[in-house]
Amino acid sequence: MAASESRLLDYWAKFFRGAHMDTFTVIERAITVASFDRSNEFKRNKERMMEELFSYGTKNGSSSRCIGSDRMQFEVVAEGD
């Protein structure tokens, strides 16, 4: 891991610890706020964010993987469908 990436992770770790709630609640609330405040950008980035979640463990050197994540496909459904 590069030094700048390590500093960035340290920054976010401190941010989450200072939020006075667990990290998962912060993430869930951030997703909710982003989906309302920046709905178009959120829709454009939703698939990339899902890929990030499902690929966790393959990028950081961990051997853990989501079952079937190497073949997972995401479908974006238009509103009203």
Q: Are residues 49 and 31 in the same domain?
A: no
Q: What is the pLDDT of residue 64?
A: 45
Provide the domain count of the chain: 2
Q: Are residues 32 and 49 in the same domain?
A: no
Greatest Cα-to-Cα distance within the chain, rounded to the nearest angstrom: 46
Q: What is the pLDDT of residue 80?
A: 57
Q: Are residues 33 and 55 in the same domain?
A: no
Q: Are residues 75 and 51 in the same domain?
A: yes
AA letter at 74: F
Among 67, 46, 7, residue whose Cα is nearest residue 58: 67
Instruction: Pick out the chain residues at pLDDT < 70.
Output: 1, 57-81
SS3 41: helix
Q: Are residues 50 and 27 in the same domain?
A: no
Determine the structural domain holding residue 18 and report its residue range.
3-37
- Looking at the chain, the number of H-run helices and the number of E-run strands are 3, 0
Q: What is the pLDDT of residue 37?
A: 95
Residue 59 carries which DSSP code? S
Beta carbons within 10 angstroms of residue 55's beta carbon: 15
